[in-house]
Amino acid sequence: MDADTAGSGRRSDRLGDVDLVLIDSITQILPEDAGKVVVTGSHGGVSAARFAAAVAARLYVFNDAGIGKQRAGIAGLDRLARAGIAACAVAHDTARIGEAGDSLACGVVSAVNAPAAALGLHVGLRLRDQLAVLGR
């Protein structure tokens, strides 16, 4: 991986034909991330979706944070779906919360919204494997 800013928790990568941005916090999203797959270390709650909705990424990846009461850990996926933005979450017991790189390396998808399903993402499969064939 190439470091955009050393030690910032933000980096770029490429997996097959897919441009990736890895950010440990959704607050690190930038306008130039539009159209890319953005893997975050953040929970997928409504507050995270507010940040994500400001930049039209191809796909957002969050951590489900255990899903929690009233699906709070993934509630943002529904909000993003209403805006037509693809989003999914990896299971909290497969990837460390706050570490985008671990989500990419180890995460197993636990939730997908309708736009993410339309891209071909599925629950129960490794994130990295699914991203490697995204768009083929």
Q: Which pLDDT belongs to residue 136?
A: 64
Residue 4 reports pLDDT greater than 60 = no
Contact 61, 36 (CB under 8 A): no
Q: Which two tokens stand for residue 72?
A: 């709070």
Question: pTM for this one?
Answer: 0.93
Q: Give the Å distances, CA to CA, from 26 to 44, 96, 104.
A: 10, 15, 15
How many structural domains comprise the chain? Answer: 1
Q: Rounded CA gap, 18 and 45, in Å?
A: 25
Average pLDDT over residues 86-90: 99
Instruction: Please provide the average confidence, as pLDDT, over all residues in the chain.
Output: 94
Q: Rounded CA gap, 24 and 84, in Å?
A: 23
Q: Which domain holds residue 26?
A: 2-132
Q: Which two tokens stand for residue 130?
A: 């699914």
Burial class (CB in 10 A: 0-12, 13-18, 19+), 45: buried
DSSP 82: H
